[in-house]
Chain A
Amino acid sequence: MTALLLRDLKLSIRAGGGALIGILFFMTVVAVIPFGVGPDLNLLSRIGPAIVWIGALLAALLGLDRMFQADRDDGSLDLLLMQEHPLVLTVLVKCLAHWLANVLPLVLASPLLGLFMNMSEVAIGAVMLTLLVGSPALTFIGAVGAAVSVTLPRGGLLVSILVLPLCIPVLIFGVSATYAAVEDPAPFLPPFLILTAITMFFAVLGPAGAALALRNAGD
């Protein structure tokens, strides 16, 4: 399992692109927003947390379709399917590797973008914390989409369509927890705890669903 984790990490770092393109995409999406809504700093600081969250959500979807497809192309997916470890665990490890390589850099890049958006220190910290807790859920949900479309030649767009509706609760509670941290009357803890619960829920459901889909999608 550790070997698999290390292998996936090395692959996504060395194969070029992966994480770096994700961050670039994230920054581009966020940078485009001020052109659309105008450079009003007050407005930007108000919608900033939501923009950063949406940008991170879209960027996290970007690399999903390669999660199992690369393994299928070189045949290692069949080996993963045939080994003795439960497939759910294997998928969980692959999700973790994907998250570490592709999504964690986004979380680390988010303070910089928060600065661009004229957000306060508290808001930046809250966005980073909620992204850290909420983004694994995006990966777990995305794993189901990636597994479902593993045999499709151009599944990337379809994965996004299938996965985005399921990601909405994560977005809702992530953004509302961030706003609760900034604006005093609303309590921060309830939406944050619900966000944590969503992540844990999908940590169970996501790998199980993805494993089921992988077994059935094999040819």
Chain B
Amino acid sequence: MTDSLAIRKFSDLANPTRFLAIAERVLPWLAGLCCLLFALGLTLAFTTEGDYQQGDTVRIMYVHVPAAWLSMMCYSVMALSALGTLVWRHPLADVSHKAAAPLGAAFTLVALVTGSLWGKPMWGTWWVWDARLTSVFILFLMYLGLIALNRAMDDPSRAARVSAVLILVGFVNIPIIKFSVDWWNTLHQPASVIRMGGPTIDPEFLRPLVVMALAFTLLFFTLHIMAIRNEIWRRRVATQRRMAARLAGRGD
């Protein structure tokens, strides 16, 4: 019973009008909660003590780590949407992974830039060709390639199906990024928050980090839903323009 209910809810979403109605209701709450968490997270980030070795630069972590997590989560969301496109032909999934690609590229860029700013005082260099850094850079290039592919095709539904295939093939990169610090013993530190046997990071730093991670996640979903909504509106405008042009042609 619950299963069929879930499926019904899920296919309800396939109707763009219904999605827009839900988005209308959910968005203010999401955005409000996101702002609240950001306010809390940023206050925590700036009021907690700095690291005894790293000083104030440790605060970069509160932006860098959530952005890096998000860059991977965004790709996972895109891969799920790509499955939705190819397996269930869910019409919103097409829009979803198209809308997520620029967001993912932005989060990856933030992670790379903040990492670079953090690396300069800590490692003494802006960039090293370390396994984690390189694989995240590849992720960035893949996002840009997907955006370019989407732009290159005229027909949106065909572009969606074709880029869905590419997203799924590119998903092999995600485990490589996640485990790159364990497989290759390089400069970037290994995982210290989500690991077997509990986090090794001090609670002093963990609290703001978790709040910021939640805030970033909510920010992603808020922007994602807004981007989907914009894309639906954009397609409707395009369709109406085409209809108007056809009607004008008939009138002559």
Q: Which residues of B contact A151 (CB under 8 A)?
A: 153, 158
Mask: chain A, 144-183; 1 = CB below 8 Å from B; 0 = not: 1101110110010010011011101100000000000000
Mask: chain B, 157-171; 1 = CB below 8 Å from A; 0 = not: 010011111101110
| A161 smallest CB distance to B (angstroms) | 5
Q: Which residues of B contact A145 (CB under 8 A)?
A: 166
Name the segment of A46-54, A62-70, A110-118, A208-216 touching the other chain: A208-216
Distance in angstroms between the alpha carbons of A151 and B158 in the assembled complex:
10
Flag if B138 contacts A158 (CB, 8 Å): no
Flag if B169 contacts A152 (CB, 8 Å): no
Flag if B138 contacts A148 (CB, 8 Å): no
Distance in angstroms between the alpha carbons of A165 and B135 in the assembled complex:
9
Flag if B158 contacts A216 (CB, 8 Å): yes
Flag if B166 contacts A162 (CB, 8 Å): yes
- Asked if A217 is at the interface of the complex by the 8 Å CB criterion, the answer is yes
Q: Which residues of A contact B145 (CB under 8 A)?
A: 158, 161-162, 165
Distance in angstroms between the alpha carbons of A145 and B161 in the assembled complex:
14
| B94 smallest CB distance to A (angstroms) | 11
Q: Pick the residue among B134, B148, B166 that contacts A144 (CB under 8 A).
A: B166
- A164's nearest neighbour on chain B, judged by CB, is B141
Flag if B176 contacts A217 (CB, 8 Å): no
Flag if A148 contacts B165 (CB, 8 Å): yes
Flag if B149 contacts A216 (CB, 8 Å): no
Q: Pick the residue among A158, A165, A209 that contacts B141 (CB under 8 A).
A: A165
Distance in angstroms between the alpha carbons of A216 and B161 in the assembled complex:
6
- B166's nearest neighbour on chain A, judged by CB, is A148
Distance in angstroms between the alpha carbons of A209 and B173 in the assembled complex:
15
- Asked if A205 is at the interface of the complex by the 8 Å CB criterion, the answer is yes
Distance in angstroms between the alpha carbons of A213 and B167 in the assembled complex:
11
Distance in angstroms between the alpha carbons of A213 and B165 in the assembled complex:
6
- Asked if B152 is at the interface of the complex by the 8 Å CB criterion, the answer is yes
Flag if A144 contacts B142 (CB, 8 Å): no
Distance in angstroms between the alpha carbons of A145 and B169 in the assembled complex:
10
Q: Which residues of A contact B44 (CB under 8 A)?
A: none
Flag if B176 contacts A166 (CB, 8 Å): no
| A181 smallest CB distance to B (angstroms) | 20
Distance in angstroms between the alpha carbons of A141 and B145 in the assembled complex:
15
Q: Which residues of A contact B142 (CB under 8 A)?
A: 165
Distance in angstroms between the alpha carbons of A130 and B149 in the assembled complex:
32
Q: Given A165-B142, A216-B158, A158–B148 Cβ distance below 8 Å? A: yes
Which parts of A112-148 form the interface with B (CB within 8 Å)?
141, 144-145, 147-148
Top 6 A-B residue pairs of the complex, sorted by shortest distance between their CB atoms: A216-B161, A213-B165, A165-B138, A162-B145, A209-B169, A161-B145
Chain B residues with a Cβ under 8 A of chain A: 86, 134, 138, 141-142, 144-145, 148-149, 152-153, 158, 161-166, 168-170, 172-173, 176
Name 7 A/B residue pairs within 8 A (Cβ), A-sorted. A145-B166, A148-B163, A149-B149, A151-B158, A158-B145, A161-B141, A213-B166
Additional 6 contacts, C-beta under 8 A, given A155-B152, A158-B145, A165-B170: A151-B158, A152-B152, A161-B145, A205-B169, A216-B165, A217-B158
